[in-house]
Structure 1
């Protein structure tokens, strides 16, 4: 664990894996922290220097005045890489992290080797979804975060997985309850305002899009939309709800590694 100093505060990060290996950045979803990737780290760190971080407003990272934007969060990533002396990386982001990945692919492709975006869309929801949530969280604070935690189980996991793996579900959803209400609301605004539908075709780096068959938050249709607009992009789908990396586990990790390690996809 460590911190990089941004202009407004500290960004929490963690590095795992061989120092000389290529760097793979993992970017968390809205309402989680870098530990949402714990299941992937053993497999990924065999081949990569795995760089995880808490997105601004989450975990141990800085919480600043909102609203945030995906551009702002993307520039946080670039600032982190600059401070750590890292020129180019592979990047894998889920949901909000997938929006950050799209922004990087569109605006900073020279910093990327390959890009993986998971359980995401070029535009996620609309103001009628996000504005009431923002208002509730800012009004009710921690009580609202606890309520969101309980409601998130059905969004993030299929019922059979939630029943079979209660400890895993609790570990992940507890991250939401622990998230700063101010930070969460500010990030909701970033997701609300992001719309990359007209810019996707400018992504030039190799891209893998991953979706969950049972994902009601970002359905497979959103993943297909991205894949169809980025030249040469690949698509994979797993039986999972919104957090496919957690629910699909080893199969998710294997598919990402297959994509990243294949030199023919350079």
Structure 2
């Protein structure tokens, strides 16, 4: 039997070719030991070209699976030949080491599924409803100081990745006009108390903000706002921010939007009070 290693980003595929019997079991173990020594604990056995397998080899696969599992990883089998698949199913090994029809599916299984992509702001806004506000402090040091210590996991509740320059909070818009905006924030998955949220977004804190605006050609406002009010509530905080640095076109669109919403609120039945 011959084994060829094919390193991938999150796992390694071991391509097996030939007859897998007692004589070649140490060869598989050496490959697994080498992966573990190199810090790789997730592997896929591609058995498309394995013509024969015996009971000792089946035991070697179980041993390899246990070795990787003990290191926090996993083992899967991909594309077994018809002979191998029949043996795996007859002895029930497929219930211990999962079998897949492609290297990619097997790799996703051992690596914990598809890696979540880092979403850009426009995509996040599309996923959220029209009243959402994305925000983050301009000073990234505030994130390092407040968020990881409070959340424990240091995980970005929007992107699912570690806190850093891509972190965004998602607030709920209360109002917006040409001067600024107001929104509420429940802290998301940060685990922070209203007091801690108030410290993070203290008076004078510069925020990068983004929210939808239908009347604007690009569909959203992207600018800066300085926190002018912060109110702690039982379920989070209410924040007021004053815009600065908006270009003339954006500011005009925000002003027109605010005027239109005020008119509709006044004129449409059931919108008063």
Higher strand share: 2
Higher helix share: 1
- TM-score (structure 2 length as normaliser): 0.28
> Which of these two proteins has the greater Rg computed from alpha carbons?
2
